[in-house]
């Protein structure tokens, strides 16, 4: 018989989000009368905006004609008009179209990037963090040579991001030549790095031979004009960072699937080879490009009408988040020591329940309120005692969840 890939040996059992779905379904099966509301997984709920949808409909109609039909793209990096438009509209010309690689989503690109960096790279992650950074690193053998315990994997550098350090990590413990995962606005904390903080990060990376894998999947939620939307707004970042981004949340493309990665031409490996060249080699081998229909949607999303639609859609979810944050700041929660962290620039509300275990709070909220959340400990050791509330939901469901939290949750 074939042995299992040894890299999977020490992988923590169960990916976080299916585990949450499993618990939700088990609860619903045991309580068929309960109307369970999900504020758990960050999954969009609102319909596609009309201008963006029309871009895809028109493209599909053209596909039915001999002149409008197209098959595989020439290059997995995506259609040139979309690459140009991302560079011009999203980055305001700060990156070149040749540096933009269109993809089927940020998560898929993170996985492929992990393949590219391989087993020998040292990994540093914000703690808490989107679980794909750690799980994917273990799968490619870059981490997880010993089992994880309550402190995480011994061969990963966890950079605690807590209210006590304003959710920006102390970088001193990060070894030279590390691959640093950094997500802003952050999932799960919602924290946004300031320009000064990103300068600190970039300067550290440059001085220590590190590469920053910057996940900007929630950048479209930033409303404070002083906060950077891209790491490439920071001087020197082109030499030490790459950035993944996504249409998933701002355009409602979680099912449509479209994202991109920017790899500046200055970014190099130790032997001087351009990272972009290896990335191109890897993606052309394993990836046949994003759906051409989704790319038509991406083009429409970057028209002025599409940009306005994305602003409205992200604004809708931000209003949901504000409702959730507001109810959790009520006196009964404050008196119980509950601390609410919501920046107004991210679709997540991060809440600390001092002295409690995240999964216990998850269970309590589910049983008292029939509301699903995400336990903070699922995002890393520093997430213990926190719970994440996702703002992705229909307004009536979010309002009902808020009523239940206010009237039924007993801590």
Pick the stretch among 100-108, 117-125, 230-238, 358-366 that binds ligand PL4 (CB under 6 A): 100-108
Nearest to 232 by CA among 243, 245, 223, 221: 243
Euclidean distance between CA atoms 347 and 324, whole angstroms: 10
* Residue 347 is a binding residue for ligand PL4 (CB under 6 A): no
The 223-262 contact track toward ligand PL4, x by CB under 6 A, reads -----------------------x-x-----x----x---
Give the one residue of 59, 90, 91, 130 binding ligand PL4; rule: CB under 6 A: 130
Nearest to 184 by CA among 174, 176, 194, 196: 194
Give the one residue of 11, 37, 39, 42 binding ligand PL4; rule: CB under 6 A: 42
Q: Which is nearer to ligand PL4, 135 or 265 (CB)?
A: 135
Pick the stretch among 101-109, 235-243, 358-366, 393-401 that binds ligand PL4 (CB under 6 A): 101-109
Q: Which is nearer to ligand PL4, 14 or 209 (CB)?
A: 14
In terms of DSSP bridges, do strands 122-127 and 156-160 run parallel, antiparallel, or are they unpaired? parallel
Q: Which is nearer to ligand PL4, 246 or 385 (CB)?
A: 246
Cβ(238)–Cβ(247) below 8 Å: no
Residues 153-212 that bind ligand PL4 (CB under 6 A): 183, 187
Euclidean distance between CA atoms 222 and 231, whole angstroms: 13
Angle value at C-alpha 397, between 396 and 398, nearest 5 degrees: 95
Between the two ends of the chain, the Cα-to-Cα distance in Å is 51
DSSP state of 89: I
Q: Which is nearer to ligand PL4, 17 or 204 (CB)?
A: 17
CB of residue 392 to ligand PL4, shortest distance in Å: 8
Give the one residue of 49, 55, 105, 347 binding ligand PL4; rule: CB under 6 A: 105
* Residue 376 is a binding residue for ligand PL4 (CB under 6 A): no
Consecutive H or E run containing 397? helix 395-408
* Residue 39 is a binding residue for ligand PL4 (CB under 6 A): no
Cβ(101)–Cβ(77) below 8 Å: yes
Q: Which is nearer to ligand PL4, 41 or 411 (CB)?
A: 41
Q: Which is nearer to ligand PL4, 107 or 404 (CB)?
A: 107
Cβ(221)–Cβ(346) below 8 Å: yes
Buried b or exposed e, range 15-28, using 16+ CB within 10 angstroms: ebbeebeebbeebb
* Residue 370 is a binding residue for ligand PL4 (CB under 6 A): no
Strand partners, 388: 350, 374
* Residue 106 is a binding residue for ligand PL4 (CB under 6 A): yes
DSSP state of 88: I
Number of H helices, E strands in the chain: 13, 13
* Residue 41 is a binding residue for ligand PL4 (CB under 6 A): yes
CB of residue 249 to ligand PL4, shortest distance in Å: 7
Pick the stretch among 102-110, 266-274, 296-304, 326-334 that binds ligand PL4 (CB under 6 A): 102-110
Compute how many residues bind ligand PL4; rule: CB under 6 A: 16
Record the tokens describing residue 214, joined without a space: 């910057």
Give the one residue of 97, 127, 215, 384 binding ligand PL4; rule: CB under 6 A: 215
Q: Which is nearer to ligand PL4, 67 or 388 (CB)?
A: 388
Euclidean distance between CA atoms 126 and 57, whole angstroms: 40
Contacts of 162 (CB under 8 A, 6+ apart): 382
Strand partners, 158: 125
Q: Which is nearer to ligand PL4, 210 or 294 (CB)?
A: 294
Q: Which is nearer to ligand PL4, 106 or 276 (CB)?
A: 106
Contact residues: ligand PL4, CB under 6 A = 17, 41-42, 105-108, 130, 183, 187, 215, 217, 246, 248, 254, 259
């Amino acid at each position: 018989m074939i042995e299992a890939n040894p890299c999977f040996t020490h992988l923590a059992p169960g990916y976080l989000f299916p585990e949450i779905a499993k618990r939700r379904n088990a609860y619903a099966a045991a309580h068929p009368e309960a109307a369970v509301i999900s504020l758990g997984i960050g999954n969009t709920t609102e319909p596609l905006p009309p201008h963006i949808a029309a871009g895809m409909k028109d493209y599909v109609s053209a596909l039915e004609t001999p002149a409008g039909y197209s098959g595989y793209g020439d290059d997995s990096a995506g259609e040139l008009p979309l690459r140009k438009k991302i560079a011009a509209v999203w980055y305001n010309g700060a990156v070149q179209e040749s540096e933009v690689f269109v993809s089927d989503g940020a998560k898929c690109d993170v996985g492929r990037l992990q393949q590219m960096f391989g087993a020998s790279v040292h990994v540093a992650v914000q703690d808490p963090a989107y679980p794909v950074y750690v799980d994917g690193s273990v799968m490619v053998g870059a981490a997880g040579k010993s089992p994880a315990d309550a402190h995480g994997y011994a061969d990963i550098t966890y950079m605690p991001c807590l209210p006590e350090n304003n959710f920006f990590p102390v970088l001193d413990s990060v070894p030279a030549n590390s691959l640093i995962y950094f997500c802003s606005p952050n999932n799960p904390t919602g924290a946004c790095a300031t320009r000064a903080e990103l300068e600190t990060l970039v300067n550290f990376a440059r001085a220590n031979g590190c590469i920053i894998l910057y996940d900007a999947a929630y950048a479209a939620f930033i409303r404070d004009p002083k906060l950077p939307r891209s790491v490439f707004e920071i001087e020197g970042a082109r030499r030490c960072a790459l950035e993944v981004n996504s249409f998933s949340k701002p355009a409602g493309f979680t099912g449509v699937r479209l994202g991109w990665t920017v790899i500046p031409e200055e970014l190099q490996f130790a032997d001087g080879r351009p990272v972009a060249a290896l990335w191109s080699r890897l993606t052309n081998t394993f990836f046949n490009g994003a759906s051409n229909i989704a790319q038509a949607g991406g083009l429409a999303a970057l028209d002025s009408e599409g940009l306005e639609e994305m602003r409205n859609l992200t604004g809708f979810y931000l209003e949901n988040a504000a409702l959730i944050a507001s109810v959790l700041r009520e006196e009964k929660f404050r008196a119980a020591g509950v601390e609410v962290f919501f920046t107004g620039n991210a679709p997540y509300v991060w809440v600390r329940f001092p002295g409690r275990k995240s999964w216990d709070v998850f269970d309590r909220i589910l049983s008292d309120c029939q509301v699903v959340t995400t336990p903070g400990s699922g995002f890393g050791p520093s997430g213990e005692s926190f719970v994440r509330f996702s703002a992705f939901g229909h307004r009536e469901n979010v309002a009902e969840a808020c009523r239940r939290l206010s009237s039924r949750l007993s801590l």
